[in-house]
Structure 1
Amino acid sequence: MFLNPQDVTKITSIGGGPIGVGWAAHFLARGFDVTLYLHDAAEIPTARAILDTAWISLAGLGIAPNASIERLSIVHDLEEAVSEAEFIQESAPERLEVKQALYRRLGEIVPEGVVIGSSTSGLTMTDIQAECPTPKRTVIGHPFNPPYLLPLVEIVGGRKTDPGTVSWAADFYRLAGKEPLVMKKEIPGFIATRLQEALWREALHMVANGEASPGDIDTALMYGPAPRMAVQGQCMAFHVACGAGGMATNLDQFGPALKLPWTRLTAPELTKELRDRMVDGCNEIAAGRGFEELAAKRDRQIVALLKAVRDAA
């Protein structure tokens, strides 16, 4: 029997990268006690830097009255990290053998009645839970980066996941300030990542063929569909775009154009030339700015956008 979602106060976040630490920052800002498991003490400076950057933006959006960055504990022993956990968010490296070994161990040491959610962006829970002795309580909880700002979390179980685990996870994430999307079935890449990958494939094709630079592509998105997608998404944007006739008019009028060769669909070969064009183009956009400066600017702008959308609702 799981603890009621509203009664959860102690969370363990596994992983020292931007996702694992980002989740820790999010939960801290919502007033939880958080234990962050890092594989090695050498990861602490990077984790602290991510956390400090995240906290600036979280404070700008508004944190819970009882929230404090001091409610974070960092440990390097996995058994210690999960001993008092009431929910676990796993963000280990995206390698199946690593995930399977981790879930085999978690299934043995995590207290009964504790749900384990995975941040994986491409693996399925059916594969991840294959060697876990307690697979019924394992579920995908896939965030969008940075998880401390973007509300989406996609939720889906594996073949051995109890349906009640999926429902519990949706309730918990909602109470924890996320926007849960419970998927209808388990598919590779989930929903948001697959949509993002379609854009990514087209961008790579255009760069590879000399049709656009990385800067051109980002300009087209930032000042074209991206602001509209923040408030309407893809389907409603096209529904509203055609006036009173809505989506019916859109499909009847523009449907035949779907067969035009605008898209190449399959991914291009990642040649050294394409790789170098992408790297050089992104370095040109960055103009000498490092990760911390770029991430801080990104977060400030996302905060402003989220607040604007929230205020206009």
Structure 2
Amino acid sequence: MSESFTTAAVVGAGTIGLSWTALFAAHGMDVWVTDPRPDLAEAVEAALTESAPHLAQQGLPVQDIAGRVHLAADVAEAVRNADVVQENGPENVGFKRELFATLVREAPAHALLLSSSSAIPATAFTDGLEDAGRILIGHPFNPPHLVPLVEVVPGERTDEKAVARATDFYRSVGRVPVVERKEIPGFVGNRLQNALSREAVYLVEQGVVSPAELDAVVVNSLGLRWATVGPFLGAHLGGGPGGYRHMAEHIGVSMQKMWDSLGRPEQGPEQTEQLIKAVESAYGSRSYGELAQERDRKQIAVLAAVDTTSEQESRA
């Protein structure tokens, strides 16, 4: 890597911000965290304690992780010496525009200004801001200290050097950055996720399956496959020796007909309440902590298996 990132500022200490904090600190960075929440100290301590075993399983040193995390009284203090700022505030254009005006003013001129925005493109909140060339999206998937993907999405005014620096930075903390060259609401990952979620809601709404049964379908088929190959490579392999061409020419027509029958769930108040109750019936007997721990344990196992296979293939 051509540049050393030694100090990070994390603005917003919700679930995503706390996960970023642990990841950055585990990679040896000094991390300054700011959030108006009154329990910030307790939240940071709990997050570092909970994430330490996961980070250790990734081969990261976690003995001094707490000593590298500092609480800032406000945004100005948090970003004062930052090489990179990771913003994790509300999905609100006005809020982000005001916050990034502050970041541009208070952060050092060399600091990268990154947003964890889940759906709002950078161009939407950088209009009129000075020095917008160093502002762009770095959207993770929850929790970012475990899930490798970061969607790097430049705005219309983002400098190409900032894009390169952002990808370097995320690689330096063990993530897999994917640069998306066109802004679109929700970016790529969330649009794919929401497309599947819409059909999932429709199938449950129509009484085809229950929420737990639908989850079982995904976990034991698509989820299993997509943990190792994506949709296009999966389809290419699905076409046999003829590859994607065979798939498109022989099955593509029937698949396109299915597109026309994909559902649009009603999701009015009554349907929404029915769906909520169905999901709660399936999973409400277990706490959030229990479910999250099980999710993280399984994700770590999958990542470890994929990493081991990749290492074996590289040595072959």
Q: Taking structure 1 as the reference length, what is the TM-score of the superposition?
A: 0.93
Q: 1:163 to 1:51 in 2, by over 3 A?
A: same
CA distance in 2, matches of 1:246, 1:50: 45
Q: Deviations over 1:239-268 (max 9, x none)?
A: 112221111111111111123245655753
Farther-moved stretch of structure 1 (114-123 vs 39-48): 39-48
Q: 1:125 to 1:264 in 2, by over 3 A?
A: farther
- Which of 55, 58, 63 aligns to 1:61? It is 58
Unaligned 5+ residue runs, structure 1? Answer: none
2:149 is aligned to: 152
CA distance in 1, matches of 2:287, 2:52: 19
Residues 115 and 165, structure 1, Cα contact 8 Å, conserved in 2: yes
The residue type equivalent to 2:304 in the other structure is K
Unaligned 5+ residue runs, structure 2? Answer: 311-316
- Which of 213, 216, 220 aligns to 1:219? It is 216
Residues 19 and 144, structure 2, Cα contact 8 Å, conserved in 1: yes
Q: Secondary structure at the match of 2:78?
A: helix
1:9 is aligned to: 6
Q: 1:127 to 1:30 in 2, by over 3 A?
A: same
- Which of 87, 90, 112 aligns to 1:115? It is 112
Residues 118 and 142, structure 1, Cα contact 8 Å, conserved in 2: yes
Residues 136 and 161, structure 1, Cα contact 8 Å, conserved in 2: yes
Cα drift, residue 48 of structure 1: 3.4
Q: Deviations over 1:47-92 (max 9, x none)?
A: 4333322222112222147862321112231111111111111111
2:223 paired with 1:236: no
2:287 is aligned to: 290
CA distance in 2, matches of 1:31, 1:67: 9
Q: 1:52 to 1:267 in 2, by over 3 A?
A: farther
1:52 is aligned to: 49
The residue type equivalent to 2:226 in the other structure is M
CA distance in 1, matches of 2:41, 2:270: 36
1:186 is aligned to: 183
Q: 1:265 to 1:159 in 2, by over 3 A?
A: farther
CA distance in 1, matches of 2:235, 2:146: 26
The residue type equivalent to 1:303 in the other structure is I
What aligned pairs does 1:1-313 form with structure 2 within 5 A after superposition?
A: 6-64=3-61, 68-261=65-258, 267-313=264-310
2:313 is aligned to: none
The residue type equivalent to 1:247 in the other structure is Y
The residue type equivalent to 1:93 in the other structure is P
Residues 9 and 79, structure 2, Cα contact 8 Å, conserved in 1: yes
Cα drift, residue 98 of structure 1: 0.8
Q: Deviations over 1:254-312 (max 9, x none)?
A: 11112324565575332223222332222233242111111111111111110011111
CA distance in 2, matches of 1:27, 1:194: 27
CA distance in 1, matches of 2:252, 2:50: 45
Farther-moved stretch of structure 1 (278-287 vs 288-297): 278-287
Q: Taking structure 2 as the reference length, what is the TM-score of the superposition?
A: 0.92
RMSD (Å) for aligned C-alpha atoms? 1.9
Residues 207 and 274, structure 1, Cα contact 8 Å, conserved in 2: no
The residue type equivalent to 2:244 in the other structure is M
Residues 8 and 31, structure 2, Cα contact 8 Å, conserved in 1: yes
CA distance in 2, matches of 1:72, 1:65: 12
The residue type equivalent to 1:211 in the other structure is V
Q: 1:101 to 1:33 in 2, by over 3 A?
A: same
